[in-house]
Homo-oligomer: A and B are copies of this chain.
Amino acid sequence: MPASLSTCPKPQLEELQSALRAQYQRHCEANHALDLTRGKPSTAQLDLSDALDGILAGNYRAEDGSDCRNYGGLHGLPELRQLGATLLGTSAEQTIAGGSSSLTLMYFTLLFAKLFGLAGAPPWQLHRQPKILCPVPGYDRHFAICERLGIEMITVAMRSDGPDMDAVEALLAEDDEIVGMWNVPKYSNPTGITYSDAVVRRIAALGPRAQPGFLVLWDNAYAVHDIAAKGDPLTAIAPLAQAAGTEVAQFASTSKITHAGAGVSFMAGSQALIESMVEQLGIAMIGPDKVNQLRHVALLKAGGLAELMAGHQALLAPRFAAVEEALSAHFSGSELLSWSRPNGGYFVSVDTLPGVASRVVALAAAAGVKLTPAGATFPYNRDPADRNIRLAPSFPSLEDVVSTMQVFCCCVQLASVEQQLANG
A residues sitting closer than 8 Å to B (CB atoms) are 38, 40-41, 43, 46, 49-50, 52-58, 60, 67-73, 99-101, 103-104, 107-108, 111, 116, 141, 144-145, 148, 255, 259-262, 280, 283-292, 295
Contact = CB atoms under 8 A, between A and B. Distances in A.
Contacts of A288: 100, 261
For the complex of A and B, 4 pairs with smallest distance between CB atoms = A54-B54, A262-B291, A107-B284, A69-B259
A402 B284 CA distance: 34
A155 to B, nearest CB: 20
A148 B283 contact: yes
**Secondary structure type dominating chain A contacts:** loop
A196 B292 CA distance: 39
A49 B289 CA distance: 15
Nearest to A101: B285
B283 A261 contact: no
A265 to B, nearest CB: 10
A285 B104 contact: yes
Contact of A69 (B60, B101, B260, B291): B260
B107 A261 contact: no
A143 B385 CA distance: 50
A46 B71 contact: no
Given A50-B58, A56-B53, A288-B100, A262 B68 contact: yes
B70 A41 contact: yes
A177 to B, nearest CB: 20
A295 B262 CA distance: 12
Contacts of A52: 291
A347 to B, nearest CB: 15
